Amino acid sequence: MGLISGVRNRREFLRSASLVAGGAVFAGNRNVVAAANGSVSSATDSKRMRALADWTKLTMQTPNPVPYAAEIFDSKTGESLMRATNAVGPENDPSAHGEVRTIRLACKKLGSSSLRGYTLYTTCEPCPMCMSCCLWSRLDRVVYGATVADAARFGDQILISSREVEQHSSMHCVVTGPIERAHCLELFTNPTMQAVFKKWRTSKD
């Protein structure tokens, strides 16, 4: 699956099987400025999460619909650095979860393995693999929408919370969520996504 550095319009987005966008696309987010200590208001968290969920919903009109996506923001300026969706199927890569892909692309863009000074938003609570990646990349904060228990209703999950992973680490990352849980859960209950889940369950039988 090819990667997109920028999505210029809806038509280009829908033609693409890979859903990745760099920060240049989201210049409007520069108007959302965090406090000097990197914290943001709950209203800002909600706004960003709803926007991410709405962007993710566009995948329902592509050959590869997914309910999982993540976006990384500068914790101080509020500028968006990168966002991407889950691409496990298209890339034949079990590690290509939305959070991991977004972290990989963000680190590549910065030329650094550290995302200290950045915050990650994700439509669903990170699995242990993704939360571990968040910790190793030194993210300041992780904000999630739907919970891992929500996701488990529709497919296989490792039922360990992100907070538990963080608590068993020598690295620190603030975990906030659920935020806009109902809005993010709509990605899972979308009829298109439900059909995909049903097909996936049938293939396992």
- Residues catalogued as catalytic: 99
Cα 94 to Cα 130: distance, rounded to the nearest angstrom: 12
Number of H helices and E strands in the chain, helices first, is: 9, 6
Cα 121 to Cα 115: distance, rounded to the nearest angstrom: 13
The strand pairing partners of 20, in sequence order, are: 84
Which two tokens mark 147? Answer: 């919970």
Q: What angle do CA 98, 87, 4 make, to 5 degrees?
A: 85
Which two tokens mark 165? Answer: 């992973």
Under 8 Å between Cβ of 42 and 123: no
